[in-house]
Amino acid sequence: KAGVTQTPRYLIKTRGQQVTLSCSPISGHRSVSWYQQTPGQGLQFLFEYFSETQRNKGNFPGRFSGRQFSNSRSEMNVSTLELGDSALYLCASTLAPSSRGNTIYFGEGSWLTVV
Amino acid sequence: AQKVTQAQTEISVVEKEDVTLDCVYETRDTTYYLFWYKQPPSGELVFLIRRNSFDEQNEISGRYSWNFQKSTSSFNFTITASQVVDSAVYFCALSGSGGVGGGFVFGPGTRLSVLP
């Protein structure tokens, strides 16, 4: 059974640009969450989508957005990139909304560097 | 608000030693879930164990065991007879309705180095 797949794995962007990251969940999983990991702030929750609807959102500015498609694949977008957005972006999937205590399974992440 | 503390920033042990990773959590939820994840250098967080708040029975799974104590809000994780492949960053996480935006709340992680 294939795991969570994230693309691209590595990318470098310039300040002010925007970036789109993609996530394909484990087959049958309908919930996709996104997390940002930085050395200074650790792992922080960005948002969660379930059945194409955003269910939860963390404390991030509106430059961070996402969406989910009917096949449960998800994308997140960061506009007007700042140096501080350099991070590992992790996607996780689970069967039902994660707040119900379900285990979430992570992909390998997308390493974003903003220069 | 929910919070997870992992006081140990880095631990080094020699192969075959037992090692315990500490985790202390804060939550006002009566129902919540606790997890341990492992992050090797590749970046992917690998799920290890899950515990719910109403089951304090401690278990052993292979070389892994955990000690969940609600009275002290602790959820410690032990690796028995450590191996070099256990070297990674280990994260304790909390899930419940009180998390920021509803997502998992992770501790800062403990970097474990197992030396041959």
pLDDT at position B97 is 67
Would you call A45 an interface residue with chain B, using a CB distance cutoff of 8 Å? yes
Burial class of residue B81 (count of CB atoms within 10 Å of its CB; 0-12, 13-18, 19+): exposed
Q: What is the mean pLDDT of residues B8-19?
A: 97
Cα–Cα distance, A47 to A34 (Å, whole number): 6
Mutate: best of A99, A102, A111, partner B, most B CBs <10 A: A99
pLDDT range class, residue B84, cuts 50, 70, 90 = very high
A45 vs B43, B96, B99: nearest CB: B99
Which residue numbers in chain A have pLDDT < 50? none
Would you state the structure tokens that stand for residue B11, as one six-digit string?
A: 């631990």
Select from A69, A89, A92, A93 the least CA-distant residue to A20.
A89
Mutate: best of B4, B95, B110, partner A, most A CBs <10 A: B95
Residue indicated by tokens 């042990």 = B13
Which residues of chain A are within 8 Å of residue B32 when distances are taken between CB atoms? 101
pLDDT over 90, % of chain B: 73
Cα separations (Å) of A25 from A72, A97, B21, B39, B55? 7, 13, 30, 19, 29
Cα–Cα distance, B75 to A51 (Å, whole number): 32
